[in-house]
Structure 1
Amino acid sequence: MKRKTVLITAGAALAVAVGIGGPVLYQEVNQRNEAATTSHVALTYEADFSDDANLAGAAEDLFYGKVTALKGQKDLGIGPETQYAVEAQRVFKGDVTGVVVVNQQGGKDENGNIVSLPEDDTLLEVGKRYLFAAKYNPDQKFNTVIPVHGDLPIPDTEVPAPGVPDMNGDGQPTMSDRWVASVQNQNDLSTAPPDEEPTEEPDEDPTPEPSPTGSS
């Protein structure tokens, strides 16, 4: 498996633990759209998750899945999060099997308004299929998707994907080939190059050590 290393530098954004960890940083900037009754949260990333290699590298589990049911909603301290039952259909990375619980940042308040939803993201819909890029939260026992890029609607998994490597050699690159390639070429976002050892510079005018005196 080909792996690349990407150095993740610290930023000034506020890190919020939603079970994703890794290189994702969050900056809470509530933007209220009264017409749409939706409260968005702007996110700041230390890696570009629109890059498939970064997305695959950040995810512990990368798979196609169909949302079969809405499980509920909870607040872990940063706003509502919504849980869904998802049937894993094809796994590109990780070991998910059967029906798993997938957690998504964002949810609805008591008035039915969507709140705390990352910008450019939408709540999952029961009955639809998605490409999920997620990390497992052992404390909560669910898979939390990487916002925006980690829950991509995939209505047709074998739709042609021009420009994608033909990974199975059938002469027709597809969306599935895209994710096989992303795992093969994933970036390792958890490993930074080791710090270089400091090099000691010699004194500009070193004081010569006295010569030993010979015996007479």
Structure 2
Amino acid sequence: MTTTAEPRRQRRDAAENRAGILAAARRALAADPHASIDEIARAAGLSRRALYGHFDDRGALVRELVRSGAQRFNAVAARIDETDARLALARLAAELWREAAHVRLAAALALDEAHLEETAAALAPLRRTVAAIVRSGQEAETLRADITAPALARLIEETARMVVTRADPSSAVGGIAVRAVLSMAGLSWQDVDALMRAHPALLSTSASEREEPRS
């Protein structure tokens, strides 16, 4: 039992140390996308050598952050099942806003030319979801059709990314993300207001608050 327990404890400690490094890296890179490996190590309370015991280099660390962040974003996209494209986009924007700290980091990393390709690949499921919503909305004539579906999907992505990287995620202005996305999708501000009034749970912050009232 002793010989089995020791390796398990070491693996657990290693996993906790790795998680601590990733958490420190998220904080450091959210503040400065170009933070050095030394700055990240200091944020984690480790030496550079100790950090290299878990990651080969800064690139490996960033790739892991992109991968883990993308999993959260893709999980959000997988939960969107509304048939109305307008409501689907609104819920997607609102849910991503709730992941604001992680979204901000991923967006900052995506702006780094060295990681554009891997970020795009990691977020492929989310991007497919946006594209599918846009296509369905154009077919139903509820979203603007003066722009091709791929181009509109990309504009919506860029609009959402701009909002989450420019606004304070701790503020109570999550509606900005929803409004910006729906406006880019072709809705008037009056239509956006009506949608948000009909679905107040879009901007709630807890699971219980997000439950739609039953008729």
When normalised by structure 1's length, the TM-score is 0.25
Select the structure with the greater relative contact order (CA < 8 A; seq sep ≥ 6).
1
Bigger radius of gyration among the two: 1
Say which structure is richer in strand: 1
Say which structure is richer in helix: 2
When normalised by structure 2's length, the TM-score is 0.25
